[in-house]
Amino acid sequence: MSTQIPVPPPAEAATAATAKVEFIPDDHPILEKKYGPYLVSDRRPIFQYSVVRNLFLQSLPEYLVDQNEFNAHYFSKNFGLMLYTDDEKPDWKAFVDKVNELNDNAEPDEVYKVLYLARHGQGPHNEAIELYTHAVWEAKIGMRKEYNGLILGPDPDLTEKGKNEALSIGNIWKTQLQHHSLFEAGALPQKFYASPFTRALRTLELTWQDIVLDLPDAPRVKIRENLRETIGYHWCDQRGVMKEVKAKFPWIDLEEGMHDEDKIWTPHTREDEMGGSMDNRLREVIDDIFLEDGETFISITAHSGCLRCVLRVVGHRLFGLETSRMIPVVVKAKLLPEFKDKVKLPERVKGLPYDYTPKNYESLKRKEFDGTPPPTNGTKKVQIDGLDH
């Protein structure tokens, strides 16, 4: 006799009070999940990474900053910046001055960059996990293309909630630009990278559409295959046809040699995040950024799984990002000894490659985005002894 797992229908079909319990039959054909590596590379690591921990709250140790508390009050955190002016406003100039000082005093084989790590907004697969729990998603739903009206894959777009989340993150950027002199300080991203998935690109579009993407000389967004989410088994993690994706997002530049169709994903095997190959493919992305880009401020829009790997690769504490959230991380890269005399780091690029002009944003006229509150403890230019990196 088979057992069945009760599953509530989507919220739009019924309220919690009147939800009719539905069942996913056990005899529904589901492929057995196997774990294994994808995109295996024999490329060697080039840098030793570490994190500058005394500039952002999220980079402090867990005993000082709880990620759940941080996420609960995310919209009042100014992206976690710990430096404040005397009138208790986030001090982006002091931040940029500190980063420039670190680079000015770095050894020839060292360089510092600021990575703005953004997770995409809610997709239908995220909604399914919220509605039915992660256990039911893994056991019954994730390997389907559609369930109860949710189009799960391949390459799903954002839900309406996800689109609003991305707009809200854009409003935080606008608040920092309009009220806290982030542009004048020089902290806008100089370069943009993204996953090839629609949900990541839609998030980037909605976040930046009326900040930089609408400029006559708007920056191009570089797509890297290795910035994709954990590969295999789940249909939400099969990417779309890049010809169609590029038609939707004409401001992207595809990585050289990228196949139009997804030749990597399979329905049989799930990438083993803890097996090491996923960390390796994300390390290659970060290595390339430090090897090829002279820019200091880099935006990366991707997925929870690959951003976990990025944080692990650069030596950051694990820090769970809710959908659409972004955290800056200041990373120091030092060439490994065997590359010290073989690799020349790129010249530092200052200024923006696009012509941004400060403006008053219409979307900030709503009350919740009038400005960002100062820190509740009145901290000004926080300095934490013994936490230089």
| Residue 120 annotated to the active site | yes
Is the distance from CB of 327 to CB of 114 less than 8 angstroms?
no
- d(Cα 91, Cα 114) in Å, to the nearest integer? 16
**Cα angle for residues 308, 310, 316 (degrees, 5° grid):** 80
Q: Which residue in the list 120, 234, 303, 316 is annotated as catalytic?
A: 120
Closest by CA to 323, choosing from 151, 211, 207, 196, is 207
Q: Is 183 helix (H, G, I), strand (E, B) or coil?
A: helix
In Å, the largest CA–CA distance within the chain is: 70
Contacts of 379 (CB under 8 A, 6+ apart): 82, 84
Report in angstroms the alpha-carbon separations of 291 from 39, 51, 196, 285: 21, 18, 22, 10
- H helices of the chain, in order, are 67-72, 92-104, 124-132, 134-136, 160-180, 182-185, 198-208, 242-248, 277-292, 304-314
Is the distance from CB of 295 to CB of 84 less than 8 angstroms?
no
| Residue 69 annotated to the active site | no
Q: Which residue in the list 205, 229, 284, 295 is annotated as catalytic?
A: 229
Closest by CA to 159, choosing from 105, 122, 194, 189, is 122
Can you spell out the DSSP letters for 325-342? -EEEEEEEEEE-GGGTTT
Residues pairing with 22 in the sheet: 7
Between helix 304-314 and helix 277-292 the angle, nearest 10°, is: 70
Chain centroid to Cα 246, Å, comes to: 20
The catalytic residues are: 120, 229
